[in-house]
């Protein structure tokens, strides 16, 4: 199975994952950093080994599934440094 996470607001594929847990860890990270409202713009779909594509989940159902399956949000890697979830990064002025 493969899982695809989309940002439907900007029509952008955020990632393709081999496991549901990997995809849902990213969902937890995004929701932790951006708030629950962001889940309305996320859509997680899967493709079964036989090519079937069940209806994707989003919004509150996606948050509930992420909390059920993914124990911890995924740390974010910025410029080679791992940033804990909930930390704020300050970018230099250019």
- What integer best gives the mean pLDDT of the chain? 82
Domain carrying residue 45: 2-83
Cα–Cα nearest to 41, from 76, 13, 66, 6: 6
To the question of pTM greater than 0.85 for the whole model, the response is no
**Beta-ladder partners of 5:** 15, 44
Domains held by the chain: number: 1
Task: Tell me if 60 is assigned to some domain.
Answer: yes
Confidence of residue 17 (pLDDT cuts 50, 70, 90): very high
86 has a pLDDT exceeding 50 = no
What local confidence, expressed as pLDDT, does residue 49 receive? Answer: 86
78 has a pLDDT exceeding 70 = no
83 versus 39: the higher-pLDDT residue is 39
Task: Please give the DSSP secondary-structure letter assigned to residue 38.
Answer: G
């Amino acid at each position: 199975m493969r899982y695809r996470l989309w940002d439907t607001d900007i029509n952008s594929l955020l990632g393709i994952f081999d496991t549901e847990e990997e995809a849902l860890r990213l969902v937890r990270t995004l929701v932790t950093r951006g708030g629950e409202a962001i889940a309305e713009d996320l859509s997680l779909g899967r493709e079964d080994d036989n090519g079937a594509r069940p209806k994707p989940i989003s919004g509150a159902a996606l948050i509930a599934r992420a909390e059920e399956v993914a124990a911890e949000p995924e740390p974010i890697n910025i410029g080679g440094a791992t940033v804990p979830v909930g930390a704020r990064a300050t970018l230099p002025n250019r």
